Structure 1
Amino acid sequence: MSLVDSLKDIHLSILPQDPVKIDTFVFRLHYFWTVSFILVFSVLLSLSQYAGDPIDCIHDHNIPDDTFDRFCWVEGTWTRKLGFDAIGGQMDKAFLRKDLNFVRCFDESTNSDGKPHEDCWQHQYYQWVALVLVLQAGCFYFPRYLWQIWEQGKIQSLVSGLDRTSLIKGLQSKNELQKGEIKDKIQLMIQYWREAKGTNNLWAIKFYICELLCVLNVVAQFYFTNFFLNGQFAQVARQGLNLDENDSILPILAECRLTTYGSGGQPQLTSGLCVLPLNIVNQKFYSLYWYWLSALLVVSILALTLRILQITSHDMKKFVIVYFYRIKEFNDVILKRSNHGDWFLLIRLMDNMNDVVSSLFLDELEKIKPFEAYRADE
């Protein structure tokens, strides 16, 4: 079995795709696609970190290489900040040349106390990236987990037997659905609708809360990731995937200093250059992650705005039925006489039907007595 097959099996075991849709496409962007994106990089980093060599340092003192590597991995490494001149704002020549001055933060002749230069910063985050990504994935999945508890299997129980794939194949007209188990199942759904009409508001509000949590979580992820990267999250994204500036924020080459003590008790300072191959992956991930979060935030806010319009506007409900569910002819008295909870249940049911079944369901829904009375009043 290949690595790709193994990752696919792990992915499906963690995030199985439900045959019944109980939420929206934008909601799935959060708990399925975003979580999948994060976990893939987390697995890649974990494999490199625990099965490979996450750091490799060179130095010129009599210290075992493994000891020096472990120390630098735990205590962190150093680079100069971004390579910009603090006064003129110009790129430092040493930075552009990519010579050793770019990573030299300790000067043995002037900094015998072991303190780094003022324009240097320490990198200690990289050993935590894989774990932090798992925690972030959990934050994206939490609204889904909450909705599964609150939803209580309502949609599953109602559409059980209306398998979307089997309905699409060979069923192209309403006449084919006017008999057999499909007809009986639709009648049961109509009966439930009639009995539960007007009682679905709280159920729908719980989903709205989950949608709001998704938006708030994306905003929180921006702030948290920026804090995790020492305030440089946006800088990573702006510099792109390949530009040199990332080498300062997420360095591949950095400096490390270890202080040891001889037999006389005098400190001995050992400086070394360290290669951090994991930051090759980190650079690409955090660049993509910033743009993904930005797009996800925009889409989520638009979806939330559309949700508010659906709750408050009859015309918006009709627009959704016509253009999203492609049902051109139906009596919109159903929409006029349904509150937002009934509307939310209706579209969740229709998400699990093809166009033919959805149209038949609306036709049958119009025939129940409350709606017949409404048509007479109109």
Structure 2
Amino acid sequence: MLDVFRSLKTLLKTSRVQIDNNIFRLHYSITVILLLAFCVIITTKQYVGDPIDCVRSEAIPQSVINTYCWIHTTYTVPRSLKKEVGVEVVAPGVDMETNTKEFRYHKYYQWVCFVLFFQSTLFYIPRWLWKMWEGGKIQALMMDLDVGVCSEQEKKQKKKLLVDYLYNSRGHHNWYAARYLFCEVLALANVCGQMYMLDKFFDGEFLTYGLQVIEFAQLDQEERIDPMIRIFPRVTKCRFYKYGPSANIETIDALCLLPLNIINEKIYIFIWFWFLLLTALTVIVIVFRLVIIACPPVRVYLLNMRFRLSQLDHLHTIVRRTSIGDWFLVYMLGQNIDSVIYQEVIQDLAMKTDSQPSESMMMSTQSKSMMST
């Protein structure tokens, strides 16, 4: 068990090269670890015991009825949840009801571990896509300038190569930035889609699950019905059919304990709040991205605040003369290059960009010369 969790720790290791932001990392790092850890926990008998344990007739072996009820699902009676335990019913929702239309069948527990693993895979897809599309561009452009300890000649040469690349490739990084924005939107769509998927998985109960738990905690003890017991019942019933001595079909009611649901209810209340937090943070990030795209001055002040660059005129020059994709690449480089070297790169890039006429001025000059000829 400990070896499994140690292997999950590798997902927490931060790479030397940063190609995304902290909120994006919450999706493919923390969330993936949590889901895989939950998957391991509920499949380990030493923590939750047997997943099902049924009280049965002496004529039927314990293992047979346990396996039968696990495969063919168990059920509760929702309208009996309010009845008094020990007086009217033996457990919430467990009643002597014969009308099968009143039954609520529970079969999700067979699939919880698989669903958790599938969820973790979906959360990693945006990261996988971005890593494939990014193609190691940031790492190649860094040229070990994140260390900052190198000879002056080597630093000068690498810095010149980086500035020349950024200048000569102006306007060619919009698709690079668009792909990253797409991956962030995909991460948001994934967490929203998973909440909808879990709502279908739990028969329309998941979207309001957290709100119901909060409301339950605020009600009087006599009035409240625990939503965790309603969605994840700990005691259920199961009907076992077998042939009797005269070849007639006999029905045996079994009372089943589901200790696994004690873990499931805690896992999914945590997932509900975690997904809500992820959704809110990702929406804020995407809205901020749109503001950055629409407002060039925001790009200037973001570079200034993030990397403590004091010369605003240089930043204004870079933002004015380059595209949003170029700005995004410059910003990502700032997260990976030594701060002193980065300031020199920004200064050299701004001076080189400012010394050359902009494309619009060149086009205007060319058109005037053509008209004069």
With normalisation by structure 1, the TM-score equals 0.83
Q: What does 1:1-378 correspond to in 2, within 5 Å?
A: 3-12=1-10, 17-48=14-45, 52-81=49-78, 92-94=82-84, 99-100=89-90, 102-107=92-97, 111=98, 116=100, 118=102, 120-163=103-146, 166-167=147-148, 179-240=152-213, 244-330=226-312, 331=314, 332-368=316-352, 370-373=353-356
Relative to structure 2, which stretch is displaced further, 296-305 or 349-358?
Answer: 349-358
Question: What is the deviation of 1:342?
Answer: 0.2
Relative to structure 2, which stretch is displaced further, 242-251 or 46-55?
Answer: 46-55
**In structure 2, C-alpha distance between the alignment counterparts of 1:96 and 1:23, rounded to whole Å:** 56
State the SS of the aligned residue for 1:346. helix
Deviation per CA, 1:317-360, whole angstroms, max 9, x where unpaired? 02211223333334221111111110111111111134333323
Provide the aligned length of Structure 1 versus Structure 2. 348
**In structure 2, C-alpha distance between the alignment counterparts of 1:49 and 1:69, rounded to whole Å:** 18
Which residue does the alignment assign to 1:89? Answer: none
Contact 1:79–1:103 (Cα < 8 Å) also in 2: yes
State the SS of the aligned residue for 1:324. helix
**Inter-CA distance 51–205: structure 2 relative to 1 (3 Å threshold):** same
Contact 1:78–1:254 (Cα < 8 Å) also in 2: yes
Contact 1:161–1:182 (Cα < 8 Å) also in 2: no
Question: What is the deviation of 1:184?
Answer: 3.2
Give the alignment's Cα RMSD to 1 decimal.
2.8
Question: What is the deviation of 1:271?
Answer: 1.4
**In structure 2, C-alpha distance between the alignment counterparts of 1:145 and 1:356, rounded to whole Å:** 32
**In structure 2, C-alpha distance between the alignment counterparts of 1:51 and 1:80, rounded to whole Å:** 25
Tell me which amino acid in the other structure corresponds to 2:94. R
Which residue does the alignment assign to 2:366? Answer: none
State the SS of the aligned residue for 2:84. helix
Question: What is the deviation of 1:300?
Answer: 0.8
**In structure 1, C-alpha distance between the alignment counterparts of 2:123 and 2:5, rounded to whole Å:** 20
Tell me which amino acid in the other structure corresponds to 1:9. S
Tell me which amino acid in the other structure corresponds to 1:216. A
Which residue does the alignment assign to 1:174? Answer: none
Deviation per CA, 1:294-316, whole angstroms, max 9, x where unpaired? 11111111111111111121111
State the SS of the aligned residue for 2:237. strand
Which residue does the alignment assign to 2:221? Answer: none
State the SS of the aligned residue for 1:268. strand
State the SS of the aligned residue for 1:53. coil
Tell me which amino acid in the other structure corresponds to 1:309. V
Contact 1:106–1:116 (Cα < 8 Å) also in 2: no
Sequence identity (%): 31
Tell me which amino acid in the other structure corresponds to 1:304. I
**In structure 1, C-alpha distance between the alignment counterparts of 2:85 and 2:330, rounded to whole Å:** 60
**In structure 1, C-alpha distance between the alignment counterparts of 2:269 and 2:134, rounded to whole Å:** 36
Tell me which amino acid in the other structure corresponds to 1:93. K
State the SS of the aligned residue for 2:356. helix
State the SS of the aligned residue for 2:112. helix
**In structure 1, C-alpha distance between the alignment counterparts of 2:275 and 2:154, rounded to whole Å:** 44
